Amino acid sequence: MKLTPLYNIHLGLGAKMVTSGAGYQVAANYGSVEEEHRAVRERVGLMDLSHMTRFDIKGNDSLQLIQTLAVNDASKLTDGQVMYTTFCNEEGNIVDDVTVWRFNRQHFRVVASSKSRFRTIKWIEAHIDEGMLAYVTDISASLGMISVQGPCSRDTLQKISDSTLQELRFFRFTVVKLAGISTVVARLGYTGELGYECYMSTEDTVQAWSEIMNAGRAFDISPYGYDALDTLRLEKGFVYFGGEVSGKNNPFECGLDRWIRFDNRSFVGKQALLNIRENGPERKLIGLELHGDAAAAATQQVMANEKKIGEIALCFRGFTVRKNLAWAYVMPEHAEPGTQVTVDSRGNSVPATVVDIRRYDPTDTRIRA
């Protein structure tokens, strides 16, 4: 059993603990999932993400290594900037989705989920060519990670920060002191709200959690767990590699192709992805709005004109948009928003409408506030 530095804090808060795909004990919820969801949407919430994977890539050829693996273009990054990208294999299927951080031209960091930790570091190391001056260090155990999300997240952290966070732009990071604790603060999140990811030494994580909680009491801060994180990210349309997206998918199938940069360089999987772009993917991930109070379940069929066109990947209640929603993989010709389909729900044929998976704030107004 693997524990984060905040394990006892979660127990003290009455959390329902579950075992993650990587074997960590994580908080699923602290009571009402809907209340935790609304705390992040309306005020501020904090979450323990200390179990996530962090790799440092250093050396004169560290950028070259990243450019070999990433479909996005890290050469555009400046110091203190982050980019989202996928790593793909030669067939164009996704190996992992990660964020890449540039500290300087010889120091980058890769942040990924804990589930793919060992597989991804092996993938990176396997692409260090002979003579390449780059090396990878797994620093995951040395860092705690607390995500602070919601419209009051900046005000909460500003109360204990020695620097002005208003100046920190989206997908940028900086080093500050939070209540005297040296912390890398990044303007990032997975909830669809204004938010920050805070990284500090493992031994400082409990104190940092306490200081953030105290600072947020004026805004009615609340901890939230993985159940609420799911409802938040699904409303926003953020996919999860290891869930509805897997190594059997390519970026064009699940809407991640908008982060591919083909120009002026070679990377693993480029030719396969060019072929998929030209010919189109065999299926596409779409959103469904179910009519009435009906709910769907994973693997149920999606039908059009009495023919199967796809299958449900997941379903959920959109607490903010107040809709029963589902995501499904369907044939591309049926993926246009507004298309009318039916879903086989417990033996009943339920009408549904194809919608953009980004049901909440599709223009990113809140996340960029």
CATH number (domain holding residue 336): 2.40.30.110
Residue 163 lies in a domain: yes
Q: At 133, give phi and psi (nearest 5°).
A: -90, 80
Q: Are residues 177 and 34 in the same domain?
A: yes
- Per-residue model confidence as pLDDT tens digits over 5-59: 999 999 999 999 999 988 999 999 999 999 999 999 999 999 999 999 999 999 9
Domain boundary among 170, 202, 236: 236
204: which DSSP letter? G
Residue 302 lies in a domain: yes
Q: Are residues 230 and 299 in the same domain?
A: no
Q: Are residues 221 and 345 in the same domain?
A: no
- Burial degree of 60 (CB within 10 A; 0-12, 13-18, 19+): exposed
Per-residue model confidence (pLDDT) at position 244: 96
Reported confidence tier of residue 344, pLDDT bands at 50, 70, 90: confident
Own/partner pairs for 101-105, CB < 8 Å, 24+ apart?
Answer: 101/173, 101/186, 102/74, 102/77, 102/78, 103/79, 104/79, 105/62, 105/63
172: which DSSP letter? B
Q: Are residues 207 and 314 in the same domain?
A: no
- Per-residue model confidence as pLDDT tens digits over 225-252: 999 999 999 999 999 999 999 999 999 9
Radius of gyration, alpha carbons of the chain: 21
Q: Are strands 135-138 and 222-223 parallel, antiparallel or unpaired?
A: unpaired
- Per-residue model confidence as pLDDT tens digits over 163-214: 999 999 999 999 999 999 999 999 999 999 999 999 999 999 999 999 999 9
Q: Are residues 220 and 297 in the same domain?
A: no
Q: Are residues 200 and 336 in the same domain?
A: no
Q: Are residues 147 and 211 in the same domain?
A: yes
Q: Are residues 229 and 295 in the same domain?
A: no
Whole domain around residue 344: which residue ranges?
Answer: 283-355
Residue 43's CATH number? 3.30.1360.120
pTM of the entire predicted model: 0.95
What's the structural domain count of the chain?
2
Q: Are residues 311 and 227 in the same domain?
A: no
Residue 158 lies in a domain: yes
Reported confidence tier of residue 298, pLDDT bands at 50, 70, 90: confident
Q: Are residues 145 and 43 in the same domain?
A: yes
Residue 335 lies in a domain: yes
Nearest to 312, CA basis, from 96, 294, 322, 320: 294
Q: Are residues 225 and 167 in the same domain?
A: yes
Q: Are residues 226 and 311 in the same domain?
A: no
Q: What is the mean pLDDT of the chain?
A: 96
Residue 320 lies in a domain: yes
Residue 105 lies in a domain: no
- 294-298: average pLDDT: 79
Reported confidence tier of residue 153, pLDDT bands at 50, 70, 90: very high
